[in-house]
Structures are given as C-alpha cells and as structure tokens.
Amino acid sequence: MKNRNLQLKLLSFYQIFGGVLGCGISLWVFISLISIQRKEDILFYTVLSLCSFSLYIYSIFCGSLLLRKSSRIKGLHFSLVNQLMQVVSFSIFGFAFKYISGLYTSIGFDLVKNTLLFKWGLSTWEILFNSNSVISEIHINIFSLLLVFLIDRLLRIFALSDIEEYKIEGAQP
C-alpha cells in the first residue's frame, strides 16, 4: 500500500511540476512572440498560446486529482489521457504536434534523411499548421510510454483492491 501511495504522489508531483514548468515556458514564449511579431498575427499566437496553456493546466489538474484519495481513480484515468497525448509527436508535410509536460526522452525517425533520432529535454510544445517546413519526423516519448504502463498497472491494482473490499464488505453479516 505504501508503494502505491508513493507512486501516486510521485506521479502527481511530476505532472504538477511539468504543468507549472510548461506554463512558465509558454508565457515566456508568448511574451517573446508578441514583441517581435506583426500586430495582425497576435490573435493567432494568442490562440496557440491558449492551447498550450490549456494542455499544461490539464497536467496540473491531473496531478492535483491524484493527491486526493477520493479522486485517485479519476485522477489516474485523466493522467492516462495526459500521458497518451505525449507518447507520439510528429512533424510531417508542414503539420506538427508535440506536447510534453515534464521530462522526455524520445526515439524518432527522420523520414527525409532516413536517420534514427534521440532527443531529451523538459516541457515543450509545438503546433504547426501548413508551415513550409521540410522536416518530416516521428518520435515516441519513451518516458511517457513508461508512465502509461505504470498508470495502467496502478488502475488494475486499484480495481482489484476495490473488488476485494466489496467482497469482504458483502461477506459480513
């Protein structure tokens, strides 16, 4: 039981840390973009920044749910979705999506140069629409993939423990 609680707390703090770090980075990028971009583009960058803020706030929300015993199952389900969004990132034909809240270690493949890529870092995001980029890459975030397996295991353990509690309570006169 202590091991599960420790895993939940570590997962919670990790998601909160990643979300706070991501919000800080997004704010810094937004302020930098507004100062150098044309006034006509400010609305577009504001919408993109709101998208990134909402993803990082979702990560903070997931982490905070895990801290409360009454919402740990719901928190694990939301955390699973949060981590699944971070497993695959891509940049293909001018379109790109990358969302990382916390740490990442990724293995990728450059589709243009046919080379294997290894990347690591902290909270980051990238959303591109119809850009003139010649980059074509697909990445798998190993760290998020491991967290998906951990969360799945925790969900199964809690589901089994809830069934056992129900059987024990039902057996009493």
For residues 45 and 27, the answer to whether their CB atoms sit within 8 Å is no
Two tokens, residue 83: 């981590």
Phi, psi of 113 (to 5 degrees): -90, -5
| pLDDT, tens digit (0-9, with 9 covering 90-100), for 81-115 | 999 999 999 998 888 899 999 999 999 999 989 99
Higher pLDDT, 167 or 78: 78
Q: Read off the amino acid at residue 114.
A: N
Q: Which of 86, 77, 56, 88 is nearest to 151 (CA)?
A: 77
How far is residue 62's CA from residue 67's CA, in Å, rounded to a whole number?
Answer: 9
CA 88/CA 99 separation, integer angstroms: 9
Q: How many domains does the chain have?
A: 1
SS3 content of the chain, % helix, strand, coil (to 5): 65, 20, 15
**Structural domain that includes position 108:** 2-171
Average pLDDT along the chain? 87
Query: Above pLDDT 70, what percent of the chain?
Result: 91
Closest to 9 (Cα-Cα) out of 56, 66, 69? 66
For residue 18, what are the CA distances in angstroms to 10, 42, 58? 12, 26, 11
Q: What is the pLDDT of residue 29?
A: 84
